[in-house]
Amino acid sequence: MLKRGLTAFLAILFCHTRGLMALGAVDNSRCLMCHTAPTLGKAAKSQPPVLYVDPDKFASSAHGAMACIDCHVDLANQPLVHKRQAATVQCAGCHVMPGLSPDGVHSGVPVGKQPRCKDCHGTHYVRKKVEPGSPVNRSNVESTCAICHRDGPEIRPYLASVHARVQAGSRLPAAVCTDCHRAHDVAATEIIFACSKCHREEFQLYSASVHASGRSAGYTDAPTCTDCHGTHDIRSRKSTDSATYPVNVPDLCGECHGDPVLQQRYGLPSDTVITFRHSYHGVALEHGDTSVATCTSCHQAHDILAPENPLSTVNRKNLPDTCGKCHFGANENYAKGKVHVLARREDSLALYYTASGFKWLTIGTMAMLIGHIILDLWARVRNRICQRKRGEGA
Amino acid sequence: MNHIREGKEISGQREFVRLSLSLRIQHMALFSSVLVLIVTGLPQKYAYTSVSQLFFRIVGGVVVSGIIHRVAAGVLIGVGVYHMFYVVLTREGRSLFRDLLPTLKDFGDVGRNVLYFFGFAKERARFGRFSYLEKFDYWAVYWGMVIMICSGLMLWFHEHVLQVIPKLWLDIAREAHSDEALLATLAIFIWHFYNVHFNPSRFPMSMTWWTGKISEEEMMRDHPLEYQRIIAEESQTVKKHVSQGSMLEGADTNESSYNQEEKGTGKGEVSPDVSSSADAPQIIDGATG
């Protein structure tokens, strides 16, 4: 930080000194003699009026104290009425950006289409990013990026996200493009660290989780922030279309925990999702009671631990406390019996025999009753036929 | 089955009280609460079907349907408790209970009917006040009520119940509640509805649940032994009254037998006891002949 500040200070000092030195040679007012004519740009057909410079706006810009030729260095020795078009301004002459990475995502863009400094920061009226009018001000970053990314898969989902919405309400600083992607060395960042800049508490909880340890052991199947929360379209968990909305949580966890391939690869139990769905919690959640427990209510959201871990909320020892979050007076009875349970032999023999007892009772009873009905109807039909025959005979 | 058809021609149809007002109210409370319980309960059992989705959307979610289910359960429990008192404390109830107890004859009746169904017997079994069909219905409700109310209360008050019993028991209660619900529903909609609605001699519906009465014809056909008993009892009463010289008072009161009543059809005339009991022997001959 100090190094960066020092660099900037030296750069400014250097530029402004150069400006002062050039003042004698080429005064801005001499340039502006022509460049304040509104028709100047329009004369050159099909060109936007870039040649026009608003002297007041320029003066109030971040570079307002600088001379034109500080940037347009190639024109310094040209006659006043110069024929040559100004060469591309080299911002890097002053703005030494050590973070400007050649590996950034933008450097992967085909040559000629790569964004340049002015594409984001503007030209003559460059403003500091703290000024609301600056295209790189937090409130404008999204529309600045949208100049190119307008039709991409990012901006539109972002605009519907919780990050964009809080920003529009301007009560809290929410993430803009550059918060996650960075500004100059725009890169496909390690997302955990992007999120953790703001969501420190969640990051800490996550770091201890079984998901994080899987991730750090190199298993890229293990979920990180965006796998559950989404990327550009992150919603509040209170929003019904959020993947983390309680009703959608079983689907979300089920994406991996219900996937036979991943179940086999990591030895995950094969029936956690289906057993939940058939529990009262699952049924009630499916039909509009969002107060019941979902996966994360018991297993936690960020600091999920394996049940064998004594610190896990779903460790048998801790179940009374975990159930007690919702259930009044939960005690060790809550931990007696499998939680993710179906009436299957391998889950619970007592439950299995109850279910199969009722199954055979139902089948037996209904077979008898339906048999009786059919026989009764048959006897009635037979009687009717006999009667008719007897009637015909008489 | 000839006698059924002939029965219709008998004039001055008597009607017999099968269900007292108390029983009719008990039955109405029972069936309306059970229907509500089925409608609000089965969508939870089959929660992932489209019908269930539709149901919960219409009702407004599982919370609302849960409240309705519990209200209906309260009515059902109320009927059950009331019936216990009724069976123990009232003369009518005790008699009803006694007549509904299974007897050896019922098993014989089942055998006889089966023989009849297969053409090995000429006639159906002849029933008294309650046939084995009706007794089965009655005792099936006992079984169902005990299972459903016990397991239902456990689920209703699960937090209190879990104070003393392990979760596994609650899982068993849930399974039993769900499975017995299906059995009861099937028994009601197939067995009971066949006997009182879809049976060709009842279709579209026996009105006994509303009026409490059945016609003489039905009485002779479905409960011939009970019919004979009533007639015999009546003629004895008449004889007694005649011998005591108090026939007129006897004809006006029904105290001798609570479960019978008579009524003129349409014309509002009340035919005296004596005349109908005088007809009776002929009818029985016609019925059995």
Calculate what percentage of chain B has a pLDDT beyond 90: 58
Mean pLDDT of B31-40: 97
In this structure, what are the phi and psi dihedrals at residue B261, rounded to the nearest 5 degrees? -155, 150
- Residue A388 near chain B (CB below 8 Å): no
Q: Give dist(CA B222, CA A297) in Å, integer.
A: 60
Range 157-176 of B in CB contact (< 8 A) with A: 158-159, 162-172, 174-176
Q: What is the mean pLDDT of residues A68-73?
A: 85
Separation between Cα atoms, residue B98 and residue B141, nearest integer Å: 16
Closest C-alpha among B190, B192, B196 to residue B209? B196
Residue-wise pLDDT for B120-166, tens only, equals: 988 889 999 999 999 999 999 999 999 999 999 999 999 999 999 99
In this predicted structure, the answer to whether residue A249 has a pLDDT above a threshold of 80 is: yes
**Residue A35 or A254, more confident:** A254
Give the side-chain half-sphere CA count within 13 A for A215: 15
**Least confident interval from A166-170, A377-381, A383-387:** A166-170
- The Cβ of residue A147 has, within 10 Å, a number of other Cβ atoms equal to 11
**pLDDT confidence band for A35 (50 / 70 / 90):** confident
Domains within chain B, CATH numbers bracketed: 21-112+132-212 (1.20.950), 214-288 (no CATH)
Distance CA(B128)–CA(B228), nearest Å, equals 9
The tokens 């098993």 sit on which residue? Answer: B107
SS (H, E, C) chain B: CHHHHHHHHCCCCCEEECCCHHHHHHHHHHHHHHHHHHHHHHHHHCCCCHHHHHHHHHHCCHHHHHHHHHHHHHHHHHHHHHHHHHHHHCHHHHHHHHHHCCCHHHHHHHHHHHHHHCCCCCCCCCCCCCCHHHHHHHHHHHHHHHHHHHHHHHHHCHHHHCCCCCHHHHHHHHHHHHHHHHHHHHHHHHHHHHHHHHCCCCCCCCCHHHHCEEEHHHHHHHCHHHHHHHHHHHHHHHHHHHHHCCHHHHHHCCCCCCCCECCCCCCCCCCCHHHHHHHHHHHHHHHHC
How confident is the model over A259-318, as pLDDT tens digits?
999 999 999 998 999 999 999 999 999 998 989 999 999 999 999 999 999 999 999 999
Within 8 A of B169 by CB-CB distance, chain A residues are: 337
Give residue-wise pLDDT tens across range A154-193. 888 888 888 887 655 555 557 888 888 877 766 655 677 7
Give the span between the Cα atoms of B277 and B250, in whole angstroms. Answer: 13
Average pLDDT value for residue range B186-203 = 90
Q: How far, CA to CA in Å, does A207 sit from each of A200, A215, B29?
A: 10, 10, 59
Measure the CA–CA gap between B25 and B12, rounded to whole angstroms: 28
Of the candidates B96, B73, B94, B89, the one whose C-alpha atom is nearest the C-alpha of residue B24 is B96
The token pair at A22 is 């050039």
User: Which of A 199-258 lie inside 8 A of B, CB atoms?
Assistant: none
Residue pointed to by tokens 């009560």: A171
Closest Cα in chain A to B121:
A379
A278 interaction partners in chain B (CB closer than 8 Å): 47
Question: What local confidence, expressed as pLDDT, does residue B185 receive?
Answer: 97
Task: Say which residue the tokens 């600088």 belong to.
Answer: A66
Test A328 with B159 for CB contact under 8 angstroms.
yes
**Residue B233 CB partners (closer than 8 Å, separation 6+):** B256, B257
Distance from CA of A223 to the nearest CA of B (A): 28
Complex confidence, ipTM? 0.79
Q: Do B257 and B233 touch, CB atoms closer than 8 A?
A: yes
Q: Taking the CA atoms of B110, B114, B115 and B119 in sequence, report the sign of the dihedral they define.
A: positive
Peptide bond into A307 cis (omega under 30): no
The per-residue b/e assignment along A356-378, b for 16 or more CB within 10 angstroms, e otherwise, is eebeeebeebbeebeebbeebee
Q: What is the pLDDT of residue A175?
A: 85
Q: What is the pLDDT of residue A165?
A: 74
pLDDT at A33: 80
Inter-chain residue contact B175 with A354, CB threshold 8 Å: yes
3-state class of A36 per DSSP?
coil
Residue matched to tokens 């994360």: A296
In the three-class reduction of DSSP (H, G, I as helix; E, B as strand; rest coil), residue A237 is classed as coil
Mean pLDDT, chain A, integer: 83
> If contacts are CB pairs under 8 Å, which of residues 84-143 in chain B contact chain A?
114, 116-119, 124
Burial letters A161-188, b for 16+ CB under 10 A, else e: bbbbeebeeeeeebbbbbbbbbbbbbee
**Residues near B4 by Cβ (< 8 Å), separated by ≥ 6?**
B201, B217, B221
CA atoms within 13 A on the CB side of A363: 6
Q: Which of B57, B65, B117 to mutate to test the interface with A (most CBs of A within 10 A)?
A: B117
With contacts defined as CB-CB under 8 Å, which chain B residues touch A366?
Answer: 183, 186-187, 190
> Residue ranges of the domains in chain A?
1-98, 101-189, 199-335, 347-394
Residue of A nearest to B164 (CA): A333
B119 CB neighbours in chain A (<8 A) are: 382
Q: Residue B253 above 70 pLDDT?
A: no
Please say if the pLDDT value at position A121 is more than 90. no
**To the nearest whole percent, how much of chain B has pLDDT over 70?**
80
Q: How many Cα atoms occupy the beta-carbon half-sphere of A241 within 13 Å? A: 6
**Lowest-pLDDT range of A230-234, B57-61, B244-248:** B244-248
The first and second tokens of residue B96, run together, are 């009803």
Taking an 8 Å cut-off on Cβ atoms, the answer to whether A361 and B183 are in contact is yes
Is residue B282 scored above 70 in pLDDT?
no
Tokens 């979610």 sit at which residue? B61
Contact indicator for A174, A163 with CB cutoff of 8 Å: yes
